[in-house]
Structure 1
Amino acid sequence: MESLVNVVNGIIWSPALIYLCLGAGLFYSIMTRFVQVRLFSEMISLLFKGKSSAQGISSFQALAVSLAGRVGMGNIAGVAAAIGFGGPGAVFWMWVVAFLGASTAYVESTLAQIYKEKDVITGEYRGGPAYYFERALGQRWYGIIFAIASILACGMFLPGVQANGVINAFAQVMGEGTVMNIGSLEVGSMRLVALGIILVVLAIIIFGGIKRIATFTEYAVPFMALGYIGLALVIMFTNYQMIPEVFGLIIGDAFTAQAGFGAAIGWGVKRGIYSNEAGQGTGPHAAGAAEVEHPSQQGLVQAFSVYVDTLLVCSATAFMILTMGTYNIQGTLPDGQFIVQNVAAGVEINSPAFTQMAMESVYGQFGNTFIAIAVFFFAFTTILAYYYIAEVNVAYLTRFISRGANKTGLFLVKVLIMVMVAYGGLNSAGYIWAIGDIGVGLMAWLNIVGILVIFFVARPTLTMLKDYEAQRKAGVKHYTFDPAKFGIKNAPYWEERHLKQQQRMAAQDPLHKERL
């Protein structure tokens, strides 16, 4: 099975996907005139403007849910893996894919807002790639394929990576405990304790729906991210004389990487996409659930989340590891030799171990314990985000069948995720990461190709950006969006919203009614 997984992973993550991700980000950056730079201040101001409603969550809650998906094992173990397999230069390529990917995140999240709809059963807003592929392209079959791929990726392939990281970090602090035989696996008792805690808390939250998930993540994610970045900054400032050296190591190694030029780009992009999810098609699900005045607003907020994930949290991890030198670089040399070896050869690269060792070297046991706690919150909130994505796609597939089909589908997804959390938590890290990469790559292929086709067919996101900037320049107090004005069809939520706005204005102003 492991050999099959590695073969499939190699096919999906061929150089074609790596350059597709970079190329799409560059293309959208140029077409939006680098919106990720021009409207950076607007991104900040929008974070706290939106308010939640009975049907939708606020912009900040949507940011928190999407950050829950972005800020996870990829930020702690993923960065360590990028360095361990691709060299320090891989960090540079993580930065590149984040900068370019912010524009991709804007595009996909704006599409999710334009083509979102109210769930026929719950009344909640639903949006994401499956919805915009069906409504923008008129290709329901492509939406169905993406929905199925998302359920497989987020319900089966990806949760195990997060659970594996949590349990490894827990075992690093508490030890393995008594070794027990479960089937063909030898598992430490402390791993079983950690797994039990995860499953109980997970069940309590996911059975509460998006509101409970959003409430939990809007407090947990900012708290842990700020604490994590704060401790990383202390390490950097304490060793400030090494900051230029670390920068030089990252930049210098990006093009002449000790692990090879191709390895640096490949691992940097792969772990960058895994971490910030730009183009993967996961972020739009939370974006589509937000209550905003204009589709571009949530697109800008989601673009900002890519910066938070990679340029802040991932960079914090990279600087800790490189500053303290707690890493190895795995090469292809004979007899399994390392290109660079600073720590014991047995330290697992695909785990939080490098990061824990960096923290422990400065903060002692507190650092080790803090990383374990950070891993728990980062990974746990990511599992919640994965569940929500799977839920949205189950709702998409069952929305025209029956309420019973919807309930059954959601129940099965809840059970599936809990089973895969247990499976991932008890298996080897490398194998589980390879499965997760398949999920990421599968969704990225479908989503990036789809949004590029939408761009060349209709260009709705560029139209939205121009409209939003025109209203912003005019200094309007309340933004409006009329899809018919721009020839955008199949946007039922915004069509209904605009009609109601016109009716309210007509009721208040008889002259407006005559103009209509």
Structure 2
Amino acid sequence: MEWIQTIVGQANNIFWSYILIGLLLGLGLYFTVRMRFVQIVKVGEMFHVLKDKNTGPSNKKGVSSLQAFFIGAATRIGMGNIAGVAMAIAVGGPGAVFWMWIVAILGGASAFVESTLAQIFKVKDGTGFKGGPAYYMRKQLGSVGLSKVFAFGIIFSFGLTFIAVQSNVISASFKSSFGTDNLLVGIVLAIVTAIIIFGGVQRVARFSSVIVPIMAFFYILLALYVIITNIQELPGVISLIFKNAFGIDQAVGGGVGSAIMMGVKRGLFSNEAGMGSAPNAAATAVVSHPAKQGFVQALGVFFDTLVVCTATAFIILLSDSYTTGLQGIELTQASLGEHFGSWASLFLTIAIFMFAFSSIIGNYYYGEANIEFIHKSKATLLIFRILAVGMVIFGAVASLQIVWDLADLAMAIMATTNLIAIGLLGNIAFKTLDNYLEQRKQGLDPVFFEDSIPGLKGVESWPKQKQETTEKA
């Protein structure tokens, strides 16, 4: 096992030191400038389209914009927001929080691009729509090889490894609070997971639409209480974050490089912007224009990092626990204990279960969507479901380090593949945005057609404008 961890660690160093940080921040900045800072100046539009009803150019059933938002949120809001932020602060210092914010702001543009592309190239299935990066890589780029590399990457990361991360933190939390055996927790989690994932995407959507708002609401209330009761210390904490981000005050962590790396790494794990995961949820939505899901998923990135991750960061940094050497979930638990007393450990255990379990379900769905892309058969899907349930048990009993290292490597492979693709296809998303905004200027509810953007290939789920005009005539 030690040699596996060494290889995984070396591979992570190559990806995260020389490839991913440049790609993530560089493309995010390019998309931001090219789309005229759309993710910042059009925040109101994001909330407007979130209310969009389940309507589109097809009578196919599917999930609404709001449900697709919650499926995406179910995978975003999880251990990245609680244990991930704590790890970033412990290793990279308070400055890592600043770089998480930067990843989110620039990542909003990347999320818009990838989710808009997913909507354009989505395909119909038995229950509605499906799609994602593997589909726009194959259809528009014509690269079967690249699409399969991505599909395998998302299956390995979200469908298997990330599930293990979530169950690992759940079991650690239960053991810390109740002394529960890790294997027992893993078995119980596996049984409940199996019951839900064998129910299909509609059950995933219903589950996520109920649990995500509840858990996020109460967690944010908790953070607001901490901030309000420590309001006099908040300016100092914000100052510490900015100073540490640029090396002015290295209170904790390994310098500016460590702050940037941990901020980007844990920021990506948390909000997934540019990783290629959220587009799988975006593709399932029934909307009248692809840009609507671009706006919805960009909002999801902001909500995840600028709201939920920041809540965790303030809970930790407004305590004295972040200088004690604790890492991961133990740091967050200790910080909450300092603010609220011993009962906070029980509360956080329940919160962790809700956050992480919803992520397990959402992560599974992303894997399933790409299993069908590679090889559509009931036997293959059954094997994947069994493996996913098995990873719940594995994560519960495995060591923290190997689980997170595997997750980082899987995330790096998947994100690199997707970032290359959206970099090449970004111009299509830019034109789609222009098409949407032009119709909005005219006071219309924007509608998209296959021939709205010249040069599109393999579009299956959008009608042609000329056909639509002919039918009306």
> Does the alignment reach a TM-score above 0.5?
yes
CA RMSD of aligned residues (A): 1.6
1:357 aligns with 2:303: no
Match of 2:274 in 1: 279
Question: Mean Cα displacement is larger for which, 145-154 or 459-468?
Answer: 145-154
CA distance in 2: counterparts of 1:496 and 1:356, whole angstroms: 52
Deviation at 1:170, TM superposition (A): 1.2
Of 205, 213, 237, the residue aligned with 1:222 is 213
Contact 2:451 2:465 (8 Å CA) reproduced: no
1:255 aligns with 2:255: no
1:496 aligns with 2:463: yes
Match of 1:332 in 2: none
Contact 1:480 1:498 (8 Å CA) reproduced: no
Deviation at 1:501, TM superposition (A): 4.4
Deviation at 1:435, TM superposition (A): 0.7
Of 288, 298, 302, the residue aligned with 2:293 is 298
Label 1:200 to 1:502 Cα distance change in 2 as closer, same or farther (>3 A).
farther
Deviation at 1:240, TM superposition (A): 0.7
The unaligned stretches of length 5 or more in structure 1 are 177-188, 329-341, 400-405, 507-512
Deviation at 1:491, TM superposition (A): 4.7
Match of 2:124 in 1: 118
**Percent identical:** 40
Deviation at 1:449, TM superposition (A): 0.8
Match of 1:369 in 2: 346
Match of 2:435 in 1: 467
Of 375, 383, 399, the residue aligned with 2:360 is 383
Match of 2:137 in 1: 133
1:307 aligns with 2:307: no
Q: Given residue 12 of structure 1, which amino acid in structure 2 is its aligned partner?
A: F
Other structure's SS at 1:318 match? helix
Contact 2:32 2:38 (8 Å CA) reproduced: yes
CA distance in 1: counterparts of 2:137 and 2:236, whole angstroms: 46
Mapping for residues 422-501 of structure 1, pairs under 5 Å: 422-455=393-426, 459-476=427-444, 478-496=445-463, 501=468
1:62 aligns with 2:39: no
CA distance in 2: counterparts of 1:497 and 1:55, whole angstroms: 20
Encode CA deviations 1:167-194: one digit per residue, 9 max, x unaligned: 1111121125xxxxxxxxxxxx2x2332
Q: Given residue 262 of structure 1, which amino acid in structure 2 is its aligned partner?
A: G
1:25 aligns with 2:36: no
CA distance in 2: counterparts of 1:497 and 1:207, whole angstroms: 36
Deviation at 1:363, TM superposition (A): 2.1
Other structure's SS at 2:321 match? coil
Contact 2:452 2:465 (8 Å CA) reproduced: no
1:9 aligns with 2:12: yes
Label 1:502 to 1:231 Cα distance change in 2 as closer, same or farther (>3 A).
same
Deviation at 1:502, TM superposition (A): 3.9
Other structure's SS at 2:305 match? helix
Of 48, 51, 54, the residue aligned with 2:54 is 51
Q: Given residue 309 of structure 2, which amino acid in structure 1 is its aligned partner?
A: C
1:171 aligns with 2:171: no
Of 105, 112, 117, the residue aligned with 1:106 is 112
Contact 2:190 2:390 (8 Å CA) reproduced: no
Of 397, 415, 422, the residue aligned with 2:374 is 397
Contact 2:220 2:311 (8 Å CA) reproduced: yes
Other structure's SS at 2:88 match? helix
- Number of equivalenced pairs: 463
Contact 1:25 1:100 (8 Å CA) reproduced: yes
Of 200, 211, 216, the residue aligned with 1:209 is 200
Deviation at 1:12, TM superposition (A): 2.2
Label 1:481 to 1:488 Cα distance change in 2 as closer, same or farther (>3 A).
farther
Encode CA deviations 1:456-481: one digit per residue, 9 max, x unaligned: xxx110111001001111111x3211
Other structure's SS at 1:137 match? coil
Other structure's SS at 1:483 match? coil
Match of 2:94 in 1: 88
Deviation at 1:21, TM superposition (A): 0.7
Contact 2:186 2:394 (8 Å CA) reproduced: no
CA distance in 2: counterparts of 1:252 and 1:385, whole angstroms: 36
Deviation at 1:7, TM superposition (A): 1.8
Match of 1:78 in 2: 84
CA distance in 2: counterparts of 1:494 and 1:158, whole angstroms: 31
CA distance in 2: counterparts of 1:36 and 1:482, whole angstroms: 24
Contact 1:481 1:494 (8 Å CA) reproduced: no
Match of 2:232 in 1: 241
CA distance in 1: counterparts of 2:53 and 2:280, whole angstroms: 17
Q: Given residue 280 of structure 1, which amino acid in structure 2 is its aligned partner?
A: M
Contact 1:88 1:253 (8 Å CA) reproduced: yes
Question: Mean Cα displacement is larger for which, 25-34 or 194-203?
Answer: 194-203
Question: Mean Cα displacement is larger for which, 378-387 or 27-36?
Answer: 378-387
Encode CA deviations 1:358-386: one digit per residue, 9 max, x unaligned: 11222223321121111111111111111
Mapping for residues 338-357 of structure 1, pairs under 5 Å: 342=324, 345=325, 347=326, 349=327, 351-357=328-334
Contact 1:15 1:266 (8 Å CA) reproduced: no
CA distance in 2: counterparts of 1:172 and 1:253, whole angstroms: 31
Contact 2:449 2:463 (8 Å CA) reproduced: no
CA distance in 1: counterparts of 2:469 and 2:401, whole angstroms: 57
Mapping for residues 411-422 of structure 1, pairs under 5 Å: 411-422=382-393
Match of 1:182 in 2: none
Higher Cα Rg: structure 1 or 2? 1
TM-score (norm 2): 0.94
Other structure's SS at 1:324 match? coil
Of 131, 136, 151, the residue aligned with 1:147 is 151
Other structure's SS at 2:460 match? helix
